[in-house]
Amino acid sequence: MSSAEIATLPESEGFRIRWGELAPFIALGVIILLGTMINSNFMSANNILNVITRSAFIAIIGVGATFVIATGGLDLSIGSMLAFVVGIMIMAMNALAPSLGPWAIPIGALVALVVGSLCGLMNGLIVTLGRIEPFIVTLGTMGIFRALITYMTDCGSLSIDRSLRTAYRPVYFGDFLGVPYPVIITLVIALLGAFILYRTKYGRRVTAVGSNSDVARFSGVHVGRVRTMAFVIQGFCVAVAAICYVPRLGAATPTTGQLWELQVITAVVIGGTLLRGGKAHIWGTVAGALILEVIANVMVLSDMVSEYLVAAVQGAIIIIAMLAHRFTSSR
């Protein structure tokens, strides 16, 4: 085409609203509206901050899961991995506490980040070098991590040293200018994730590998490296979540993080990321995590439905989200 013709081309085909990308935010808005109508306490600043803070874990891990899923992978081990990292971190902090005092906390956190990333690296290398389906690999490591934390806690509980509790407490319960730290950490992780995914060459390759790994390979992209790196990012995010988790309960137990993988995958998928890879929405994932937590909160506040049914409603949400996606994208 001539340059004159190109200059007259429209930048896009009009302002077509991308319902697929807006859907999670609209859904979140609707649920919040419902919550406000059902219970006046719902919109209180206290409750809202509480809900957002509690959604932080799923949102942080979800950012990592968005990378793995965008490359066409899946990580089922994240819940057990969280428990394992929490266990290792508590053990490291407890061992360091007598000699280092409060400094055991940052060192322990650093240990957690390294261990989490290594766990992710292990998942990634088995998937790529072993050429095994991620579903199977992470099903295996899920069992391994879960057994390890059960062993480490001796099927009881592994608590953090009393001397560290007061110093560590604010990481979950503290705030900066009224914004709780977990919320700030979630924002930072999501911003970082969005930057990597949308603004770097690595992010481009993640989408390329996810939408068609053959095309990526034929274009000289090292598909294995891109996939492995996504698992490492996932491990790192799990470790960040672990760092926020410990001050909340102060202990690791064999049930820590149990079934979180399902919540995380639900958050990612209702956020608009395709399970078969290719399209990734970091902010959608964050909205997805919020939706799950807000629904639970509304149900607890409402009295109408038993809170034991929270998981059922969350399960229904993922199916409805997929149906809505099918409906909006088939046109």
Partner 1 sequence: MSGAPVVFSDAVQAEDAGIVLVHQEILLAPDLTVAQNLFLGRELSRFLAVDDKRMNRRTAEVLARVGSTARPWTVVGALPLAQRQLVQIARALLDDRKVIILDEPTAMLANDEVDALLDIVRSLRAQGVAVLYISHRLEEVEALADRVTVLRDGKMIGTWAAETLDQRQMAELMVGRELSMLYPPKRDPTTAAPVLVVEDLLVDHGKIAGSFSVRPGEVLGIGGMIGAGRTELIEGLMGLRPSQAGAIRVGGTAATKPDVKALMAAGLVYLTEDRKGKGLLLNEGLGPNLILQAMDMINPRLRLDRQKEAAAVKTAVQEYDIRVRTLSIEAGQLSGGNQQKLLLAKVMQADPSVVIIDEPTRGIDIGNKSQIYRFIDDLVRAGKACVVISSELPELVGLSDRVLVMRGGRFVAELTGDDITEQNVVYAAASSGKDTEGRIRA
Q: Which residues bind partner 1 (CB under 8 A)?
A: 1-3, 6, 9-13, 199-205, 207-208, 211-212, 214-222, 278-279
Per DSSP, the three-state class of 69 is helix
Burial group, residue 125, by CB count within 10 angstroms (0-12, 13-18, 19+): middle
CB nearer to partner 1: pick between 54 and 205: 205
We find the least distance from the C-beta atom of residue 13 to partner 1, in angstroms, to be: 5
CB nearer to partner 1: pick between 221 and 238: 221
We find the least distance from the C-beta atom of residue 131 to partner 1, in angstroms, to be: 14
Q: Read out DSSP for 202-265?
A: HHHHHHHHHH-HHHHHHTT--HHHHHHHHHHHHHHHHHHHHHHHHHHHSEE-TTTTTTHHHHHH
Cα 199 to Cα 195: distance, rounded to the nearest angstrom: 5
CB nearer to partner 1: pick between 221 and 299: 221
We find the least distance from the C-beta atom of residue 3 to partner 1, in angstroms, to be: 6
CB nearer to partner 1: pick between 5 and 154: 5
We find the least distance from the C-beta atom of residue 1 to partner 1, in angstroms, to be: 6
We find the least distance from the C-beta atom of residue 125 to partner 1, in angstroms, to be: 20
CB nearer to partner 1: pick between 222 and 248: 222
Cα 49 to Cα 44: distance, rounded to the nearest angstrom: 9
Structure tokens at 274: 């395709």
